Amino acid sequence: MAKKQKTFRPKARVPKGLRDIPAETVRAEAAMLARIRDVYELYGFEPLETSAFEYADALGKFLPDADRPNEGVFSFQDDDEQWLSLRYDLTAPLARFVAENYDGLPKPFRRYQTGPVWRNEKPGPGRFRQFTQFDADTVGAPGVAADAEMCMMAADCLEALGIPRGAYVMRVNNRKVLDGVLEAARIVGEGPAFELQHLTVMRAIDKLDRLGADGVRLPLGKGRKDESGDYTEGAKLAEDQIDRIIAFTSCGGGTRVDVCTAMEALVGESEIGREGIAELRDIDALLSAVGYETDRIIFDPAVVRGLGYYTGPVYEAELTFEAKDEDGQARRFGSVGGGGRYDDLVERFKGVKVPATGFSVGVSRLYAALEALGKVETSQIAPPVIVLAMDHDQMPRYQAMVTELRQANIRAELYLGGSGMRAQMKYADRRGAPVVLIEGEDERANGTVTLKDLILGAQKSEEITDNAEWRESAHAQIAVPRAEIVPHVREMLSRHIKAH
């Protein structure tokens, strides 16, 4: 007798580095995004949606090689053997959109967008391969007034979410100043090898808040092995070059004017470095003119941002309060968003300089911060009233009942499972239903419907200690005429749900 072949059953599991998000969090994040959107709209930005996929060569930083795309993005080849990649941020697709529609757009072009992005990187605690960003960008504004405005708007967003001054700070720097420091330290060159070294330096400095000055020396030098044993190649700088970079990142503190003065000593005669400092002085003047002082926006040389396309001012929104990390240790919460100027992205398509600057919120990270501060807006959507399905042949009557409730703007659901009354009541309890409607054979004969207040019933069951007390108390269910279910349901809901 032939052996029965075992049926293959795939394991139910979310892919590594990804996650599922429950309804309560989805709604709370939506409320958070609505507040950010209101600030973006107040500043005159307009919404835009771009494709989740882009041709890989349009992403700029990540290009496919002969056999497969480089690390960093998820990619595949289409029927035309062209590489497509899931977007790794919302900025590169914006650059492509502007280049493609350049002649028809108002310039400057101001847009905001929210949506998922994907990184083909090693996941870890709180680090996912898919996450949501919420960006605002101004394309076609050459002056640093656009950068100053981004910093002001980011600060306004944090305060709109209930994060008080003293619990956050916008940290601002300029890539041109860092380029000047590198030039003064004789870290100059051109071509792919130098670009890789330059990017390695940027990414090393970007980890300063997490690794500390001593930890950053390793990736600036020979390289670093992380906790998992993975080795990252370093920038291979000399000790005196590393010293100069560490000194630069440590010269923050004091007023914005003080920081600019300290930076000047480190850029020496570098023209690009002095240009960057002049831009920071202009930003300071703009911020000071409208009252955004160092309790909200500071200059910090340690801010560089990890992506390679920034060309001028860069900025990060950092939360300064302490929260427990995955190991239960109290740590400064850190960055929840950032951005900067990227004047070269659109030029890759157009061949002409198109200045741009933008700010991006890390949605999950910001939501975690609001949770830590107790600032998450709880869902205002009431659980549904549930109409039980007592008799299968009466489903049209039950459907009419639930439709009547919905037409009265009462959130309602008809039980569509195949179980009996006990299981249906258990289902209603799990759904958090405040009220259930029951119409069995006896109710139909009397022209009534039984309304059961599940919240009051639960309270009564906790308060009452014996049957006599229960019989003498007001029961948590009543029989009402079928034609009057709407006002009676409203009355029950009004006991528990404000402004329903």
- Please give the distance of CA 121 from its chain centroid, rounded to a whole number: 17
Least confident of 1-5, 298-302, 401-405: 1-5
Strand ranges of the sheet holding 412-414, from the earlier edge strand across to the other edge: 412-414, 385-387, 435-438, 448-453, 477-481
- CA of residue 369 relative to chain centroid, distance: 11
**pLDDT, mean of residues 470-476:** 52
List C-alpha distances in Å: 294 to 83, 237, 285: 46, 34, 12
Q: Which amino acid is at 262?
A: A
Per-residue pLDDT tens digits for 131-178: 999 999 999 999 999 999 999 999 999 999 999 999 999 999 999 998
User: pLDDT tens across 289-344, in order?
Assistant: 999 999 999 999 888 886 677 899 999 999 998 877 666 777 888 899 999 999 98
b/e sequence 474-484, b meaning 16+ C-beta within 10 Å: eebeeebebee
Cα dihedral 366/372/374/378 (nearest 10):
60
Enter the tokens of residue 36: 């950010």
Sheet holding 330-341, edge to edge: 46-47, 109-118, 130-139, 356-362, 330-341, 313-324, 168-174, 297-299
SS3 content of the chain, % helix, strand, coil (to 5): 40, 20, 35
Mean pLDDT rounded to a whole number for the chain: 87
Q: For 369-404, give one letter per residue: b (16+ CB within 10 A) or e.
A: bbeebeebbeeeebbbbbbbbbeeeeeeebeebbeb
Residue 386, H or E segment: strand 385-387
Q: DSSP secondary structure string, 83-137? A: EEEE-SSSHHHHHHHHHHTGGGS-SSEEEEEEEEEE-BS--BTTB-SEEEEEEEE
With a cut of 50, say whether residue 470 has pLDDT above it: no
Query: For residues 85 and 91, is the Cβ–Cβ distance under 8 A?
Result: no
Position 326 scores a pLDDT of 66
The distance of Cα 56 from the centroid of its chain, to the nearest Å, equals: 24
Cα-based torsion angle of the residue sequence 458, 459, 465, 468 in order, rounded to the nearest 10 degrees: -90
Q: 472 falls in which pLDDT band (50, 70, 90)?
A: very low
> Rounded CA gap, 493 and 150, in Å?
45
Length of the chain: 500
User: How large is the average pLDDT for residues 56-75?
Assistant: 63
Identify the band that residue 198 occupies on the pLDDT scale cut at 50, 70 and 90.
confident
454 Cβ neighbours under 8 A, 6+ residues apart: 428, 429, 433, 434, 435, 436, 476
| 60: confidence class by pLDDT, cuts 50, 70, 90 | low
Both tokens of residue 79? 């029927």
3-state secondary structure of 257: helix
* pLDDT higher than threshold 80 for residue 125: no
How far is CA 359 from each of CA 47, 132, 139, 264, 293, rounded to the nearest angstrom?
14, 14, 12, 27, 19
Pairwise CA distance, residues 115 & 135, whole Å:
9
What the chain holds in terms of domains, given with CATH numbers, is 23-52+87-187+245-373 (3.30.930.10), 385-494 (3.40.50.800)
What's the whole-number mean pLDDT along residues 387-397? 95
Mean pLDDT over residues 9-34, rounded? 92
- Name residue, tokens 């060569």: 57
Sole residue written with tokens 């494709």: 51
Please write the tens of the pLDDT for every residue from 250-287.
887 889 999 999 999 888 889 999 999 999 999 999 99
Q: How far is CA 313 from the centre of its chain?
A: 22
Report the 3 state secondary structure along 289-338.
HCCCCCCCEEECCCCCCCCCCCCCEEEEEEEEEEEECCCCCEEEEEEEEE
